[in-house]
Amino acid sequence: MNQKLKAVNKIFDMSNKNVIIFGGAGKIGKNFSKILSAAGANVFILDLSCSKKILSKKIFFLKCDVSSETQINSSIEKIINKFKKIDVLIYNVYSKPKNYYKKFTEYDSDTWKTVIDINLTGAFLATKYLISLKKNKKLNFIFLLSTYGIVGPDYKIYENLSAKKNIYDGNYSLNTPAVYSASKSALLGFAKYISTTYGKDGVRCNCLTPGGVFDNQEKKFIKRYEHKVPLGRMANQNDYNGAILFLASDASSYMTGSNLIVDGGWTAW
């Protein structure tokens, strides 16, 4: 291998790095696990359940409910007790409880609180606890946002969609609830707080904002969504692998408090 290629590989090398992914058992999370482990990292998926097909010698699973501070702390402690440190924490959690897709004027406060607890408060609890342990001076936090955390949703793409064709909930048609936008934009503010408050200690904190991922949604929705994307398509599940490797590795060592937007140009209009 020539010297130039070695230099390229070195900045993306995740060998001897331990990465935890809250919400790592989902479609994007699985791809994150594969690319980071392929780069040399030990990856720990923290989720409610996980397919054994994902697991390998470098990909592990711990059951964890992010609405429970006790479970978050216990999971982090187990990893540190066995592997000595955690280098990267990725918060990739997206809650869709019952009645999640209700209309704004009919939205239940309990549903709102549940989503906030899982999408936002869980990130606060995990980040707080890991920083408090002071086991690693070069902690790297990455929060998964959404385009709807930085711009408002365009409700034209949701008009007259069918509840029966909503693959996530057959009781309500597909839409973007206000609580989703609120929780994701709050994560961006939280990331900036962590970056400016703990940067002096070597802690980094950035966000990754993905665009919509193709998931066999209603055809009418897909067509409308793709029409608004300059690249003309929804994302594939592996389209964010390069971005997550960049943010998790030393390739982004001078980057903190930032938001990396990878959305096919959705927010460029």
List of domains in the chain = 3-155+177-216+237-261 (3.40.50.720)
Chunked in runs of 10, what are the mean pLDDT values of the chain (269 residues)? Answer: 76 96 95 97 97 94 97 97 96 96 97 98 98 88 97 95 95 97 98 97 97 97 98 97 98 98 97
Whether 86 and 130 have beta carbons less than 8 Å apart is answered as yes
pLDDT of residue 1: 61
Between CA 48 and CA 58 the distance in angstroms is 19
Phi-psi region of 40 (alpha: psi -120 to 50; beta: other; left: phi over 0): left
CB 94 within 8 A of CB 23: yes
Opening angle at CA 50, ends 47 and 51, nearest 5 = 165
Question: What pLDDT is recorded for position 134?
Answer: 82
Task: Provide the b/e sequence for 85-118 (b: ≥16 CB within 10 Å).
Answer: ebbbbbbbbbbeeebbbbeeeebeeebbebbbbb
- Degrees (nearest 5) of the Cα angle 83, 251, 33? 45
Residue 241: predicted pLDDT: 98
What is the pLDDT, as a whole number, of residue 257? Answer: 98
The Cα–Cα gap between 252 and 12 comes to: 9
Place of tokens 């959690």: 93
C-alpha closest to that of 244 among 17, 127, 94, 90: 90
- Spatial CB neighbours of 163, under 8 Å, sequence gap ≥ 6: 169, 170, 171, 172, 173
Q: What pLDDT is recorded for position 2?
A: 77
Residue 35: both structure tokens together: 């690319």
Dist CA 128 CA 114 (whole Å)? 20
